[in-house]
């Protein structure tokens, strides 16, 4: 069974490594949670406030700030990846055998 060979199609593409934003947001929030725990439990404070309620207050604030800083870091790294992008030429390679599987 013979099949026709088509000439390979060549394209120029841009290749770059961009960061994923969600891991940066999660890591920033986790660093904020650790910072809130340090502030609430390690730093001596007013005895009239329960350390758990102080932790809860700072948890919301520091986690949000950490997520924002993580997003800012991801944006900076994304801009750096745009500067370091490279151009490449890709070529479509035809299959060596035609598909005969009826389910595929």
Query: Which range has the worst mean pLDDT, 15-19, 21-25, 27-31?
Result: 15-19
As to burial, measured by CB atoms within 10 angstroms (0-12 exposed, 13-18 middle, 19+ buried), residue 57 is: middle
**In the predicted model, is pLDDT for residue 23 greater than 80?**
yes
Query: Which pLDDT score, from 0 to 100, does residue 3 have?
Result: 52
| Average pLDDT over all residues of the chain | 85
If one compares 24 and 12, the residue with the highest pLDDT of the two is 24
Query: Which pLDDT score, from 0 to 100, does residue 7 have?
Result: 64
**Percent of the chain at pLDDT exceeding 70:** 82
Structure tokens given for 11:
């394209």
Contact 84, 16 (CB under 8 A): yes
Residue 17 confidence class, pLDDT cut points 50, 70, 90:
confident
């Amino acid at each position: 069974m013979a099949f026709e060979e088509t000439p390979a199609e060549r394209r120029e593409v841009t290749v770059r490594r961009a960061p994923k934003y969600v891991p940066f947001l999660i890591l920033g929030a986790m660093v904020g949670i650790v910072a809130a725990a340090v502030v609430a439990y390690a730093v001596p404070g007013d005895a009239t406030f329960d350390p758990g309620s102080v932790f809860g207050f700072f948890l919301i604030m520091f986690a949000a700030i950490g997520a924002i800083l993580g997003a800012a870091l991801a944006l900076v790294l994304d801009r750096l990846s745009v500067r370091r992008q490279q151009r490449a030429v890709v070529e479509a390679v035809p299959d060596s055998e035609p598909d005969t599987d009826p389910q595929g």
